[in-house]
Amino acid sequence: MTDHRIREVVIVGGGTAGWMAAAAFARFLNNGYTRTTLIESEEIGTVGVGEATIPPLITFNRMLGINENDFVAATQGTFKLGIEFVGWGGEGERYFHPFGFHGHDLEGVHFHQLYLRERKRRVMQDISAWSMSGVAAQHGRFARPGAEARAPLSQLLYAFHFDAGLYARYLRGYAEARGVNRVEGKIVDVAQDPESGFVRSVTLADGRTVEGELFIDCSGFRGLLIEQALETGYEDWTHWLPCDRAIAVPSTYPGEPDPFTRATARNAGWQWRIPLQHRMGNGHVYSSAHISDDEAERVLLANLEGEPLADPRRLSFTTGRRKLAWNANVVSMGLSSGFVEPLESTSIHIVQSGIAKLIALFPDKKFNPIERDEYNRQMQDLFEDVRDFIVLHYHATRRDDSDFWRRCRTMSIPDKLANKIELFRAKGRLFREGFELFATTSWVAVFLGQHIVPEDYEPAVDALDEDRVAQALEQMRQAYLDTAQRLPSHGEFIANTCSASGPAPFNFATGTFA
């Protein structure tokens, strides 16, 4: 009987994507016959665009058996309860996109529908006042809900800010302790089967050859295997997402770190602010058609809260996705598979999702096309889902102060997004399809935060007594506020549980702290 099992997996490139894949394979392909080799070169730097994350990363870490406090300390991390958007709906305005939920549904009626009716009756606070994560963020508070936590604390959902380079280093220790073989070297040649086009091996600068059966391309924007070797092609989304440059710089900052990311709109793009334990991560994402690189750098440096800790680093990119995430026997992950700017912190999640889907559809040496096609379909859906949500932020603006914002406000948008906007604008209706990443809370937060307010609400709301609903909403709001005020500050929680200045990093090989 012929053995078709995959025995040699080769990951090309390290960084966050490469070591996430290596760690996951070490955990889930620990079958006694599949070996994983990761090739990376210290000569080639990595692009750390993913210092902020979204809640599904908690699941990834737990699946690997990673202790959360050890992980946060090792990566100089902090906790994230959502994103504050400044200046997106209009200059000087701000709103909050929280993780978790808005309130509680009543008798099968969505909370945001109750809120919409109530705001027709009286002046209401922003809907984030009915979010446990939103209220805790507003007050700078944080605590990790335990397994036995009850509402409303159980509704507090969180993610992380961390140093992407330290995260890759942390996962490298995890993966190598579980048998992943790291090879240092720069790839200078790719050998392909002359008939199938499948990649058979890569050659390093020192002449060594590394053979494989399944290759994971984590080589970054250049797509060493997926594009340079296989010529897969790229779908350009610049029409909808015109930003094509970024400048990043770390800085000092005073006081406790905020438990949220901030995204501040600028005249030709936006600026990120990501608080870590040891520094602030800052960056300016912008359109080179609307501002020069030098001016974009001046804007960034003029809006830092502390002193720069390094020289600004410039990046160029084209938003879009590889036409096939999996081509032949190569699966692309990270920047080699595509790039949707980091406005909603989805870069690392797309890597995580690609890893999970590949493990679920893991091939054998026959490489059944149905498995590859299903993987590509699911990854296309994910990329387009993220794309549409990001496009919403740009398009749903009332800003008229620059050519950039006028372009975004008046541009054509994907049909699926246009339909979603009109459904919400009519009666606040939202329908999630398949495995969409962003939940109702996320869409509602951005819609209302950027002035897409429904003309009416669902008729089912009128079946509920107005006074009873008003009383329930006030009880919810007060419960969130009371609970948040009893939590420790974000800084206190970190100091007591996962400070980077605490215990030494955990050594996975010895099972002890170094």
List, for residues 292-309, the tens digit of each pLDDT value: 999 999 999 999 999 999
Domains and CATH numbers, the chain: 8-51+163-235+319-384 (3.50.50.60), 101-155+414-492 (no CATH), 245-316 (no CATH)
144 to 75, 158, 284, 479: CA distances (angstroms): 18, 8, 31, 17
pLDDT digits (tens, 9 = 90+) for 361-379: 999 999 999 999 999 999 9
Between residues 235 and 508, the one the model is more confident about? 235
pLDDT of residue 45: 53
The whole-number average pLDDT for the span 135-146 is: 96
pLDDT of residue 1: 58
Contacts 24+ apart (CB under 8 A), 269-273: 269/243, 269/296, 269/404, 270/88, 270/243, 270/343, 271/299, 271/300, 271/303, 272/52, 272/342, 273/305
366 tagged catalytic:
no
The pLDDT confidence band at residue 502, using thresholds 50, 70 and 90, is: low
Active-site residue identified among 80, 120, 323, 416:
80
DSSP 62-113: HHTT--HHHHHHHTT-EEE-EEEEESSSSTT-EEEEESS-SS--BTTB-HHH
pTM to 2 decimal places: 0.94
251 to 86, 173, 310: CA distances (angstroms): 20, 28, 8
The whole-number average pLDDT for the span 113-126 is: 96
The pLDDT confidence band at residue 514, using thresholds 50, 70 and 90, is: very low
Is 79 a residue whose pLDDT tops 80? yes
pLDDT of residue 44: 56
The pLDDT confidence band at residue 2, using thresholds 50, 70 and 90, is: confident
Q: Is the dihedral of CA 301, 276, 165, 347 positive or negative?
A: negative
Between residues 43 and 485, the one the model is more confident about? 485
254 to 276, 306, 322, 395, 426: CA distances (angstroms): 12, 7, 41, 35, 45
pLDDT > 90 in the chain, percent:
92
- Please, is 467 exposed, middle or buried when counting C-beta atoms within 10 Å of its C-beta (0-12, 13-18, 19+)? exposed
Is 5 a residue whose pLDDT tops 80? yes
The whole-number average pLDDT for the span 481-502 is: 94
The pLDDT confidence band at residue 146, using thresholds 50, 70 and 90, is: confident
Cis before 152 (ω within 30)? yes
The mean pLDDT of the chain is: 94
